[in-house]
Structure 1
Amino acid sequence: MDTALRPAPGELTFRDATAADIDALVTLVESAYRGDSSRAGWTTEADILEGQRTDPQEVAAVIEKAGSRLLAVERDGELVACCQLEHRGDHAYFGMFAVSPALQGAGLGKVIIAEAERIARETWDATEMRMTVINAREDLIAWYERRGYRRTGESTPFPYGNERFGIPQRDGLRFELLVKELDRG
Structure 2
Amino acid sequence: MNIDEYRIATVKDVPELVGLINNSYRPNGAEAGWTHESELIEGERINTQQLAELLEREGSTVLLGLNRGEIISCVNINEEAGAIYLAMLTVKPSCQNFGLGKEMLQLAEEYAENQYESSVFNLFVISERRELFDFYLRRGYEATEISSDYPANAGVGTPKINELKLVMLTKQLG
The alignment's TM-score, normalised by the length of structure 2, stands at: 0.94
After TM superposition, what 4+ stretches of structure 1 lie above 6 angstroms from structure 2? none
CA distance in 2, matches of 1:159, 1:41: 23
Which residue of structure 2 aligns with residue 144 of structure 1?
A: 136
Equivalent residue, structure 2, for 1:30: 22
For residues 28-65 of structure 1, the C-alpha deviation after alignment (integer angstroms, 9 at most, x for no partner) is 00011103257531011110011111011111111101
Secondary structure (helix, strand or coil) at the match of 2:55 reads helix
Measure the CA separation in 2 of the matches of 1:112 and 1:89.
Answer: 23
CA RMSD of aligned residues (A): 1.6
Could you tell me how far apart the structure 1 residues matched to 2:31 and 2:42 are?
13
Partner of 1:78: 70
**Which consecutive residues of structure 1, in runs of 5 or more, have no partner in the other structure?**
1-8
The aligned length equals 174
Matches within 5 A, 1:50-61: 50-61=42-53
2:170 counterpart residue number: 179
Give TM-score scaled by structure 1 length: 0.88
Tell me the distance in 2 between the aligned counterparts of 1:62 and 1:38: 30
What is the rounded CA distance, in whole Å, between the counterparts of 2:2 and 2:144 in structure 1? 36
Larger radius of gyration between Structure 1 and Structure 2: 1
Q: Is 1:127–2:110 an aligned residue pair?
A: no
Q: Secondary structure at the match of 1:58?
A: helix
Distance 2:141 2:30 in 1: 24
Question: Which whole-Å CA distance do the structure 2 matches of 1:152 and 1:23 have between them?
Answer: 35
Amino acid at match of 1:129: F
Contact 1:32 1:38 in 2 (8 A): no
The aligned counterpart of 2:155 is 164
What 5-or-longer segments of structure 2 have no aligned partner?
none
Q: Which amino acid aligns with 1:167?
A: T
Aligned CA distance change for structure 1 residues 74 and 54 (closer, same or farther; 3 Å)? same
Report how far residue 14 of structure 1 moved: 1.6
CA distance in 1, matches of 2:157, 2:5: 31
Q: 2:87 aligns with which of 95, 103, 117?
A: 95
